[in-house]
Amino acid sequence: MIPGEKKATYRILSLHGIGTNSEILELQTSPLRYQLGPEYEFTFVDGAHPWPAAAGVESAYGDALARNCFSYYDGTASSAVDAVRDLASYICENGPYDCVAGFSLGASMIATLLFCQDPDPELQEAKSMIKSVVFLCGILPQRWESLERGEMEEIRPGDVPPHEILSIRAVHAWSPQDMQYAKQGEMLAGLFAGPWSLELTHSAGHSVPRETSEVLALAEAVKRMVAE
């Protein structure tokens, strides 16, 4: 460690969106990470499935990064089950985490794990090792029981009885200008409740906030949530 450098106090696991990668998410979150400072240690994990670059990736980040994009699963229910189990294994091996953050599909993966009622010890242990979550332009999670039947079925706010709404500390940053997954970030926030489910809107569309005032607001919300 460099003399005088602060040691990381808070650990954040970060998951990217479909058709991107960890390097891109590092770039997307660099303003946020700068505002959070060295006390926050981010770990970025790539998906296992090569995937075509999402719209705008090549023009924004160049051909080299666009040629190496991923998804956490291949679009099938069985692959989604495997991906969530892999995420749970990773958290159990490397956690606990003060926060798990996800952009788009990454957020859906995290929420799918949190809503999973499967009694499997590793799945439940992984859930217990997540102190808080940050969802950036999150999309809706998948219902675990449906995945195990080979079906893809989103969980929507009206589907969840009051006693199953999640009370984990959560920050939801979504954009009214998000045309790719319109309203999904807002609907995802509706699956969470309690005094520490905070919604922030931003102007970046389906991307990570980058306007200074929006980044500052997000950083402040994360600091307050994680330090509680």
Catalytic site residue from 71, 104, 108, 207? 104
Treating both helix axes as pointing N-terminal to C-terminal, what angle do 105-115 and 77-94 enclose, rounded to 10 degrees? Answer: 80
104 among known catalytic residues: yes
Give the angle 53-56-60 at the CA atoms, nearest 5°: 105
Catalytic site residue from 22, 71, 178, 202? 178
- Based on C-alpha coordinates, what's the Rg of the chain? 17
Environment class of 213 (CB within 10 Å of its CB; exposed 0-12, middle 13-18, buried 19+): exposed
Q: Token pair for residue 4?
A: 């005088």
Containing 214, the helix (H) or strand (E) segment is helix 212-227
86 among known catalytic residues: no
Catalytic site residue from 16, 172, 202, 206? 206
Q: Token pair for residue 53?
A: 């670059």
206 among known catalytic residues: yes
| Residues taking part in catalysis | 104, 178, 206
